[in-house]
Homo-oligomer: A and B are copies of this chain.
Amino acid sequence: MRWWGWGDAQRAQELPEGAAALLRATLGAEGGLRPPVALDQVTLPPSRLDPGGRSRLAAIVGEEGVRDDHGSRVLHAAGKGYPDLVRLRAGRPEGAPDAVLYPESHEQVRAVLEACSEARTAVVPWGGGTSVVGGVAPLRGEMDAVVALDLRRLGRLLALDSVSRLATVQAGMRGPALEAALGAQGFTLGHFPQSFEYVSIGGCVATRSAGQASTGYGRIDDMVFGLRAAAPAGEISLPAFPASAAGPDLRELMVGSEGALGVLTEVCLRVRPRPPSRRYEGMFFRTFAEGVEALRAGAQEHALPDVTRLSDEAETGVSLALTGQDSLRLRAGRAYLRARGYARGCVAILGWEGEPEDLARRRGTGLALLREHGGLSVGSGPGRRWARARYEGPYLRDWLLDRGVLVETLETATRWSRLEGLHRAVGDALRSALGGRGTPAVVMCHVSHVYETGASLYFTFLARQEAGAEIEQWQAAKSAATDAIVAGGGTLTHHHAVGRDHAPWLGAEVGPLGLAALGAVKRELDPQGIMNPGKLVTG
């Protein structure tokens, strides 16, 4: 993972020149390059970990399990949110962990937490480090030092009960490694967030992640049946039951706990047979509103594909521009859409997975229902393009950051009856906040997680960066959007978690007594307050 951006340098992406020119014109961007500084130019504060503290930790995780070199500290200095990348690229992260620890077992994690509780050292649990909400910011809070607890050595599939379809997995296992291990036995988890190639499964659980195929496989919270966590006060171990009425569900307290209550070390997940067939395809709707109504019908009839995704008019326009060269085929496609009245329409991506026969049956039912609601099938081209690029958004972000473009995403979910109002309100808030600063915004949105009672909205917005005021500019947009979400009846976050960025609004969602209840649990499990300070529970 590149310290100043995303992933593998070999896979860097760029915008086709046509789209780039259009974007420059729309945003008023200049197009000059603003590359990141070199690694050795990144300024870090000196490590606050004294030799005694360091050797106490090394006694637990081994000498090779403690790193405090410049590179390791920079790599763990921030997540992958827009402000993180702006600061890192400028060589000025807010801070860095005083050391990075690599425990190898639940017991080592427990021992680290005990040692850090005694030493007043804050602990930031670290999975893939892909948080986009400040969830892994190296904050000390009131502690004297801070370490990142990188769980990559907890990377094994521990058990697979194929009869019950339950897999027990160490929390640090990465998405691709888990899929490979399950796939070797004919199974899949079915959890594919955009960050799939880098996430840890524990990180997904701790942040209530939702994958691109969530309509079929469910969110990560639907997949977690049991878990084991280490907290400063001890161990939480919750066995996997298919269902239980034994009081409040403590799993649901640890799922989404964002490292603030303890460290997930093992999770027991529901798995499914690896689908032998996949079919991704496109469908157009005349308007976003029409598409939303079709998705609602599909969700309420349980007739949707496993991947269900609907772009609004703006995102559809950008998608079409991104397909690049105005080939004969694309021009023919556009003529077809125009002739049918879908010229300014919205594209949906529909992805079906499963046994061929079952897939064909479900697809037949689903497409018929969506067509009844106005959908126009446009073949497998858009589906193939989406599937090819499904993990590449963050690469494109790096390319845009290189060129002085603010690019950020945020997301929410609400009930169907409020979806269109919220879509409008958040878009207006972003356009107004950024336009008011003299940096007109492009805002686009899609629905990508669909439920009987409502759906998610995922916004991407772009504007020309305000050089020297990048963070204030971002903060203004983020605040305006979040205020609009709260006022419009949306949740603060559908799958990005609370982290640091949403924490000021959590009380608006769960109320003061809800916050107090969370605080009480936090004090019980983490009496010294060492766990991931400044995130989630900040009171």
Chain A residues in the interface with B (C-beta under 8 A): 161, 163-166, 207-210, 219, 221, 225, 231, 233-258, 261, 270, 272, 296, 300, 413-418, 449, 451-456, 489-498, 502, 506, 509-514, 516-521, 523-525, 536-537
Q: How far is the CB of A344 from chain B (nearest CB, A)?
A: 25
B517 touches A415 (CB 8 A): no
Closest to A240 in B: B415
Complex A-B: 8 CB contacts under 8 Å:
A238-B511, A242-B455, A244-B493, A245-B495, A247-B498, A247-B506, A248-B261, A253-B517
Closest to A414 in B: B241
Q: How far is the CA of A272 from the CA of B520 in the complex (A)?
A: 37
List residues of chain B with CB within 8 A of the CB of A502. Answer: 246
B243 touches A518 (CB 8 A): no
Q: Given the interface contacts A454-B164, A513-B236, does A221 sit within 8 Å of B249 by beta carbon?
A: yes
User: With contacts A163-B416, A242-B453, A248-B256 known, what are 18 further pairs, Cβ within 8 A?
Assistant: A161-B415, A209-B245, A210-B245, A237-B511, A238-B514, A239-B491, A241-B413, A243-B494, A244-B492, A244-B493, A244-B494, A244-B509, A246-B491, A246-B497, A246-B509, A246-B510, A250-B517, A520-B521
Q: How far is the CB of A338 from chain B (nearest CB, A)?
A: 32
List residues of chain B with CB within 8 A of the CB of A254. Answer: 248
Q: Given the interface contacts A242-B415, A495-B245, does A236 sit within 8 Å of B490 by beta carbon?
A: no
Q: Given the interface contacts A451-B243, A517-B525, does A238 sit within 8 Å of B164 by beta carbon?
A: no
B498 touches A250 (CB 8 A): no
Q: How far is the CA of A238 from the CA of B451 in the complex (A)?
A: 18
Nearest 9 pairs of A and B residues by beta carbon: A242-B454, A252-B252, A208-B245, A164-B415, A520-B524, A242-B451, A244-B491, A249-B252, A241-B491
List residues of chain B with CB within 8 A of the CB of A493. Answer: 244-246
Query: Which of A245, A492, A509, A516 neighbours the largest number of chain B CB atoms within 10 Å of its CB?
Result: A245
B219 touches A243 (CB 8 A): yes
Q: How far is the CA of A245 from the CA of B205 in the complex (A)?
A: 10
List residues of chain B with CB within 8 A of the CB of A418. Answer: 164
A523 touches B525 (CB 8 A): no
Q: How far is the CA of A270 from the CA of B451 in the complex (A)?
A: 11
List residues of chain B with CB within 8 A of the CB of A165. Answer: 300, 416, 452-453
Q: How far is the CB of A306 from chain B (nearest CB, A)?
A: 12
B513 touches A517 (CB 8 A): no
Q: How far is the CA of A506 from the CA of B238 in the complex (A)?
A: 12
A250 touches B510 (CB 8 A): yes
